[in-house]
Structure 1
Amino acid sequence: MVFLENGVNDIFVINEMIVVEGRKDTVSIKRAVEADTIETNGSAVGESVLKQIELAAKRRGVIVFTDPDYAGNRIRQIVSKRVPGCKHAFIKKADANPKQRGKSVGVEHASPDAIREALLAVRTEQLEPFAAQMTVADLMEAGLLSGKGARSRRERLGEHLSIGYANGKQLLKRLHIFRITPEEFNEAVRWINKQEESEVE
């Protein structure tokens, strides 16, 4: 992200193409930053859209910025499989909640500040082999795989590390893909513990 300060309105310019789910997401992105988008038009990402994303990745780079739900995660997986090494931005669920009842969470509901925050915390998938830093035992010890509150702890971990939510089966892989170090992981777990302690008081 390039930050341009012009004295009146500060402008954030994104060089990469941002992959979003639909037109309303594009509108919200453009309220927050100056950027071009590619819309997948839902979770069944078509061949023509994938070709656009491939071309964009070669020419400008790509940031996948989808909703924090099952469909958004599915789109990330489809794009990552076809175009490995993408950058990813994750919006917090709390920032993506709709103002009206009955609507699902989405980037379209996020404020410009929340969108900029997510883009500033963008993570890049790493393709080269990676010596595993964390193990399943580490995740178990941190209360992230089983027991009361494990799902909530995974949600908090994903938000704190800016890697999005992952279920128990996918969490270790996601930590490795985004090269989360043991220090980052342990700091995030300490933060989660403090959050939970403050809620009990």
Structure 2
Amino acid sequence: MKIKEVIVVEGKSDTTVIKNAVNADTLETNGSEISEETIEQIRLAQEKRGVIIFTDPDYPGERIRKIISSNVPGCKHAFLPKQEAIAKNKRGLGVEHASKESIREALDNVKEEYIEEVERITWNDLVSAGLIGGPKAKARREKLGRRLRIGYMNGKQLHKRLMMFQITEEQFADAILEIQQEERE
């Protein structure tokens, strides 16, 4: 599998795992303190080939994703579910612990960031679906993030990502229906 875009990852271990799974070039942020020089390299990569942001499914990974997105508009995003990024010894979480199959699946399901966001799913839709407020909201957001391949996030971030990735009302409704059916079983 050849990837045209440059994949932005956090570190060398991520690069190694990605290159074992697919034929791609990577750019490493070397942690969450992203330098202006690294941002410039990502901008250039976005101009020339496009960029896929592929960070760990944890707080620092999400922070890096936000920094890059706010400085380099129009990036694509690959998300790895947490359970597919846990180290075998259960003492680590990150892209570097994922299987080749999980890496390929995440890159097959890349989400494109739309610069002009359109609100298709409202805040009230999220509340009605039990994704905000209530005892099961966090678990439902986790399930929705896996089904839509947009990662885990809090309620406010969920609303933003649904707009950013232009998730349709139909995609949203289908995913919510699956979650509700699963909860009844």
TM range (shorter): over 0.9
Structure 1 residue 92 displacement after superposition: 1.0
Q: Identity percentage over the alignment?
A: 54
Structure 1 gaps, min length 5 = 1-11
1:48 aligns to what? Answer: 37
The counterpart of 1:123, out of the listed 101, 111, 118, is 111
Structure 1-normalised TM-score? 0.89
How many residues are paired up?
185
1:89 corresponds to: 78
Structure 2 segments unaligned to the other structure (5+ residues): none
Task: Determine whether 1:135 maps to 2:129.
Answer: no
- Stretches of 4+ aligned residues off by more than 4 angstroms: none
Q: With structure 2 as the length reference, what TM-score do the two structures score?
A: 0.97
The aligned counterpart of 2:19 is: 30
- Helix, strand or coil for the counterpart of 1:35? strand
- Distance (whole Å) between structure 2 residues aligned to residue 194 and residue 94 of structure 1: 22
Paired position in structure 1 for 2:142: 155
| Matched residue, 1:18 | 7
Question: Alpha-carbon deviation of 1:129?
Answer: 4.5
Q: Distance in 2 between matches of 1:154 and 1:186?
A: 13
> Is 2:60 the counterpart of 1:108?
no
Larger radius of gyration: 1
- Distance in 2 between the 1:165 and 1:129 partners? 20
**What is the CA distance between 1:101 and its match in structure 2?**
3.4
RMSD of aligned C-alpha atoms? 1.0
- Determine the C-alpha separation between the residues in 2 that align with 1:45 and 1:192: 37
Cα distance, 1:28 vs structure 2? 0.7
SS in 2 for 1:116: helix
- Say if 2:117 and 2:166, in contact at 8 Å, map to a contact too: no
Per the TM alignment, residue 163 of structure 1 is displaced from its structure 2 partner at its CA by: 1.0
